[in-house]
Amino acid sequence: MSFKSESDAKAYWKENLTLMVKLFVIWFVVSFGCGILLVDVLNQIQIGGYKLGFWFAQQGSIYTFVGLIFYYAKKMGELDRKYGVDDE
Amino acid sequence: MELQTLTYIVVGITFAIYIGIAIWARAGSTKEFYVAGGGIHPVANGMATAADWMSAASFISMAGLIAFMGYGGSVFLMGWTGGFVILAMLLAPYLRKYGKFTVPEFIGDRFYSRTARIVAVVCLIICSVTYVIGQMKGIGVAFSRFLEVSYDTGLLVGMCIVFFYAVLGGMKGITYTQIAQYCILILAYTIPAIFISLTLTGNPLPQLGFGSTLSGSDVYLLDRLDQVVTELGFAEYTTSVRLNTVNMFAYTLSLMIGTAGLPHVIIRFFTVPKVKDARSSAGWALVFIAILYTTAPAVAGMARLNLMNTIEPASGENLAYEERPQWFKNWEKTGLLQFEDKNGDGLIQYTANKETNEMVKVDRDIMVLANPEIAQLPNWVIALVAAGGLAAALSTAAGLLLAISSAISHDLLKGVFMPQITEKQELMASRVAMAGAIGLAGYLGFNPPDFAAGTVALAFGLAASSIFPALMMGIFSSRINKEGAIAGMIAGITITLLYVFQHKGIMFVPGTEFLGDMSANWFFGIEPNAFGAIGAVVNFAVAFGVSRMTQEPPQHIQELVEHIRVPSGVEQAQDH
């Protein structure tokens, strides 16, 4: 199986890239953003015993990463079906 | 029962399980040896990848480093998990679609060049050997404690066991064995953490306990920890940056893209049936990894607090050396923990001040193994941790050795120099290569360049600067040609190696540092362990520039790039 047309292939790839860029923005914000660059600002906020920036660096970013991968896998599954390139 | 006997029994049982599985699934043909027949479920594959991934660096070393680095240790936590996002989105699905055995094979085909393939093999071998040195450090620490011998003797024993273990089974043996290893290592990691969290905070979940108040008081654990360490002159736990913000940024980035460039992890994604399985498999791997990685910072903080409280139960009341606990004496035997009574008062002073500090050596890599003893947990828990540490170190060492041996036998011998060799000879060559790699890494392990996790970080930097950019550009740009890719890989790894060797010695042999008078971390305060990020930038830039100036890739290569972007129509791995 492959794409029905050249334009389908282009559209599929473009949707894939758009989704990736969005998810990489989140990936960057939780780790490099909240965990490193903005850590001092966020540390002013405290949740339980955790300073927020510290929490992002040692806990929050990891939870987000897991969510991102599964979301990507799910969305790409839908995209594959939409363009008829899934392997079922 | 006595601890030592109990440890022998627990470690013995777990080893019997792994070796039993390895024999049961003994690899018959080369195809099975490399990719286990291409038919492993994503959850199972995720679990095996997690075991493969979490090495002595994650299990034995990382929490110990974080315990002394505090917030700065976050680079390991974010770096070694965030890489899976890159892997899942940028590499795994496409490499699975392409469906070859090894990473250099893909690079050789995509860049239509034997030279590219050879350069990739060399990069891969350098990264993997460095990585195995880190594992050897962890194995040496674990065996020295477990057998109550010096570190060097422990390392020798460990080398023999790794040899036996990795040469015997192939990937198939390793995949099933690794599922068993994952179960043991995760239990070994979380059980003591739960115990300690319960004791300190009353909350059984370490991830929550770490942010809770101490039992019987309304002081938060983290606040107490900050207070204890700052009183002795150490940096505040929750805010101590690793060198500087630029360095932390580069360190994290280097580990992330290194994760996505390390061949022994990538090779895992060749073993799932379909492209969509490669995506979800990365997610499952990260779930299993995250269980340990979110527990680790709690283990680190609690271990530090317990250590401080043991040595100085109340401010100004120091522990007498004569009354030191059993774990202290045991670790002294390994040479990894040393005390020197500088002021002759018979008490142990542990401070940030080099002049008065009497804990002259506290090897970071002992913390996780010593942690349950420091917290006075039951003996069976301590024995379990020893078994878990060995499981972590052995599984990764085996996976890496497989990547090294297949690079040499499959890519170099069969692929380039001796295409006519038979399957049997190829298998033989890969076993000889494995033995050689164990010997070399073990030898360099007697003088490791850093703590286990630090050494492994160096390996990641090298992978980040060489393999990852070539793979990513190979998939996402049809314009990058062989000249660009080859120049990029060489430039990236060379600049990283120069920076690392200049600080740490050529191939980490002490005394071979060149430019010795150059100030440490001279490039924007970035340490060698974090330099892979810069190497990767150089790689991308050089590859891009050179490709622009030379001829574009032939038509069939541009079609190949289009082809791997279509998820359907994967051939089974067996067909190759």
Say if A71 is an interface residue toward chain B (CB within 8 Å).
no
Say if A29 is an interface residue toward chain B (CB within 8 Å).
no
- CB contacts of B90 in chain A (<8 Å) are 20
CB-count burial class (<10 Å; 0-12, 13-18, 19+) for B218: exposed
Is A69 part of any domain?
Answer: yes
> Among B54, B14, B30, which Cα is nearest to B102's?
B30
pLDDT of residue A82: 93
| CB-closest option in A27, A32, A73 to B279 | A73
Distance separating alpha carbons of residues A32 and A57, to the nearest angstrom: 9
pLDDT of residue B575: 33
The per-residue pLDDT for range B453-474, each reduced to its tens digit, is: 999 999 999 999 999 999 999 9
- ipTM entry: 0.96
Task: State the pLDDT confidence band at B219, using cuts at 50, 70 and 90.
Answer: very high
Give the H/E segment covering residue A1. none
Mean pLDDT for B367-391 is 91
Say if A65 is an interface residue toward chain B (CB within 8 Å).
yes
Mean pLDDT for B436-444 is 90
Q: Lowest mean pLDDT: which of A41-50, B2-11, B424-433, B504-513?
A: B504-513
**SS3 state at B112:** coil
pLDDT of residue B505: 82
Q: Lowest mean pLDDT: which of B42-56, B325-339, B390-404?
A: B390-404
Task: State the pLDDT confidence band at B174, using cuts at 50, 70 and 90.
Answer: low
Q: Is B573 a residue whose pLDDT tops 60?
A: no
> Among B72, B130, B377, which Cα is nearest to B248's?
B72
CB contact under 8 A, A70 and B238: no
- CB contacts of A16 in chain B (<8 Å) are 565
The per-residue pLDDT for range B519-541, each reduced to its tens digit, is: 677 788 899 999 999 999 999 99
The per-residue pLDDT for range B185-216, each reduced to its tens digit, is: 999 999 999 999 999 999 999 999 999 999 99
Q: At what angle do helices A61-82 and B74-86 cross, to 10 degrees?
A: 0
Is A6 part of any domain?
Answer: no
Q: Lowest mean pLDDT: which of B33-37, B353-357, B487-491?
A: B33-37
DSSP state of B102: -
Domains of chain B: 42-164+243-575 (1.20.1730.10)
Count of other CB atoms within 10 angstroms of residue B345: 12
In contact, B481 and B552? CB cutoff 8 Å: yes
Chain B nearest CA to A61, separation (Å)? 7
Beta-bridged to residue A50, according to DSSP, are A47
Q: Is B29 a residue whose pLDDT tops 80?
A: no
Chain A nearest CA to B419, separation (Å)? 33
pLDDT of residue B491: 97
Q: Is B233 a residue whose pLDDT tops 90?
A: yes
pLDDT of residue B518: 64
- CB contacts of B220 in chain A (<8 Å) are 48-49
Chain A nearest CA to B472, separation (Å)? 14
Is A14 part of any domain?
Answer: no
The per-residue pLDDT for range A17-31, each reduced to its tens digit, is: 999 999 999 999 999
Q: Is B576 a residue whose pLDDT tops 50?
A: no
- Residue of B251 and B146 predicted with greater confidence: B251
Nearest CA in chain A to B240: A54
Task: State the pLDDT confidence band at B574, using cuts at 50, 70 and 90.
Answer: very low
Work out the angle at residue B389's Cα, subtended by the Cα atoms of residues B386 and B395, and round it to the nearest 5 degrees: 135
Q: Find tokens 């060492």 and name the residue.
A: B397
pLDDT of residue B193: 97
Is A37 part of any domain?
Answer: yes
By DSSP bridging, strand A46-47 and strand B361-362 are unpaired
pLDDT of residue B350: 93
pLDDT of residue B26: 61
- Residue of A1 and B495 predicted with greater confidence: B495
Nearest CA in chain B to A80: B567
CB contact under 8 A, A73 and B221: no
Q: Is B39 a residue whose pLDDT tops 80?
A: no
Q: Lowest mean pLDDT: which of B96-110, B215-229, B488-502?
A: B96-110
Say if A18 is an interface residue toward chain B (CB within 8 Å).
no
State the average pLDDT for chain B: 89
Mean pLDDT for B60-73 is 96
CB contact under 8 A, B71 and A20: no
Q: Over pLDDT 90: what percentage of chain B?
A: 61
Q: Lowest mean pLDDT: which of A64-68, B3-7, B61-65?
A: B3-7
Q: Find tokens 């120091």 and name the residue.
A: B318
Is A20 part of any domain?
Answer: no
Is A58 part of any domain?
Answer: yes
Q: SS3 letters for B114-182?
A: HHHHHHHHHHHHHHHHHHHHHHHHHHHHHHHHHHCCCHHHHHHHHHHHHHHHHHHCCHHHHHHHHHHHH
- CB contacts of B74 in chain A (<8 Å) are 35-36, 54, 57-58
The per-residue pLDDT for range B104-119, each reduced to its tens digit, is: 989 999 999 999 999 9
Count of other CB atoms within 10 angstroms of residue A18: 10
Give exposure, B131-158, as e/b (b: 16+ Cβ within 10 Å).
bbbbbbbbbbbbbbbbbebebeebbbbb
Is A46 part of any domain?
Answer: yes
pLDDT of residue B173: 56
Chain B nearest CA to A26, separation (Å)? 11
Number of structural domains (chain A) is 1
In contact, B139 and B125? CB cutoff 8 Å: no
pLDDT of residue B11: 87
Is A63 part of any domain?
Answer: yes
Mean pLDDT for B177-192 is 91
Domain interval for residue A38: 28-81
